[in-house]
Amino acid sequence: MIKIKFEENKSVACDDDKKIGECDFIEENDTWNIIHTEVDNTYQGQGIAKKLVECVIENAKKQNKNIIADCSYAKRVLESQNLQ
């Protein structure tokens, strides 16, 4: 079963104990900038990357942070949710 968890400066996707994806961000002042999103090739097409980005967005909201994305994929997710 695939689980998404939030860690310091990233969200991580795991299939049991195997890390299969990650969404990294850097914090600048009160803004989180998503800089990279990646999912293992064998797991692509399952919506995991979107869940990773949404996990970062959700945690940014909880901590009252602004969110932007230099990562092209994350930028599209933010735009689809009218966040950027």
DSSP assignments along 9-71, one per residue = TEEEEEETTEEEEEEEEEEETTEEEEEEEEE-GGGTTSSHHHHHHHHHHHHHHHTT-EEEESS
Q: Model's pTM, two decimal places?
A: 0.95
Q: Per-residue confidence of the chain (84 residues) as pLDDT tens digits?
A: 999 999 999 999 999 999 999 999 999 999 999 999 999 999 999 999 999 999 999 999 999 999 999 999 999 999 998 876
- Looking at residue 84, its pLDDT comes to 67
The per-residue pLDDT for range 60-75, each reduced to its tens digit, is 999 999 999 999 999 9
Find the helix or strand (DSSP H, E) in which 79 lies.
helix 72-80
The token duo for 56 is 């970062």
**Paired residues of 68 in beta bridges:** 33
